[in-house]
């Protein structure tokens, strides 16, 4: 019988699967969108939705629960300072999974998972270095 066996196994051991989910969720928090196989994208929705719900509540207890899963201080900081307040009024449905087609090497279905509230938000580009500014000033 298959009691209490939630989620996909993805052909991995338990420890490998937990590490994979943790890394994918951290990357999604950092980049706001990632490309991965369709089955992995559907699977990490469970975890990222739970983390965003923790961030919306914002208590120390929920911050510790998020750190227990993520084990990454920077990801927890971004989650609670940026993503949680942005999703405060949304009653769920924090992610969107878009099918992109098949991967060229092995024809695996590829999808993009993205945070809904951060679709138009791109990272600001880095400013020019001081050397480039000096060269422009001298010219």
What pLDDT sits at residue 108?
96
What pLDDT sits at residue 119?
76
What is the spatial distance between Cα 69 and Cα 128, in angstroms, rounded to a whole number?
37
Rg (alpha carbons) of the chain, rounded to whole number: 19
What pLDDT sits at residue 67?
97
What pLDDT sits at residue 122?
57
What is the spatial distance between Cα 84 and Cα 123, in angstroms, rounded to a whole number?
18
What pLDDT sits at residue 65?
97
For the whole model, what pTM was predicted?
A: 0.81
What pLDDT sits at residue 117?
87
DSSP classification of residue 116: G
What pLDDT sits at residue 121?
56
Structure-block tokens of residue 78:
């971004």
What pLDDT sits at residue 13?
94
What is the spatial distance between Cα 75 and Cα 125, in angstroms, rounded to a whole number?
20
What is the spatial distance between Cα 56 and Cα 81, in angstroms, rounded to a whole number?
10
What pLDDT sits at residue 128?
62
Note the helical H segments in 11-37.
14-31
Structure-block tokens of residue 92:
């769920």
What pLDDT sits at residue 5?
86
What pLDDT sits at residue 17?
95
State which residues of the chain have pLDDT below 50: none
Query: What's the full length of the chain, in residues?
Result: 139
What pLDDT sits at residue 139?
62
Structural domain boundaries of the chain? 14-138
CA 104 and chain centroid, separation: 24
Instruction: Tell which CATH classification among 3.90.1030.10, 3.40.50.1820, 3.40.50.2300, 3.40.190.10 matches the domain 14-138.
Output: 3.90.1030.10
């Amino acid at each position: 019988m298959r009691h209490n066996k939630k989620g996909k196994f993805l052909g991995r051991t338990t420890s490998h699967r937990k590490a994979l989910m943790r890394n994918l969720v951290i990357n999604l928090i950092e980049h706001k969108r990632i490309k991965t196989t369709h089955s992995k994208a559907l699977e990490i929705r469970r975890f990222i939705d739970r983390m965003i719900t923790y961030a919306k509540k914002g208590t120390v207890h929920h911050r510790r629960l998020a750190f227990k899963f993520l084990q990454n201080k920077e990801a927890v900081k971004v989650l609670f300072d940026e993503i949680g307040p942005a999703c405060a009024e949304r009653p769920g449905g924090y992610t969107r999974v878009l099918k992109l087609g098949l991967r060229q090497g092995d024809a695996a279905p590829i999808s993009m998972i993205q945070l809904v509230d951060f679709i138009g938000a791109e990272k600001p580009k880095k400013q020019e270095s001081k050397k480039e500014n000096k060269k422009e000033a001298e010219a």
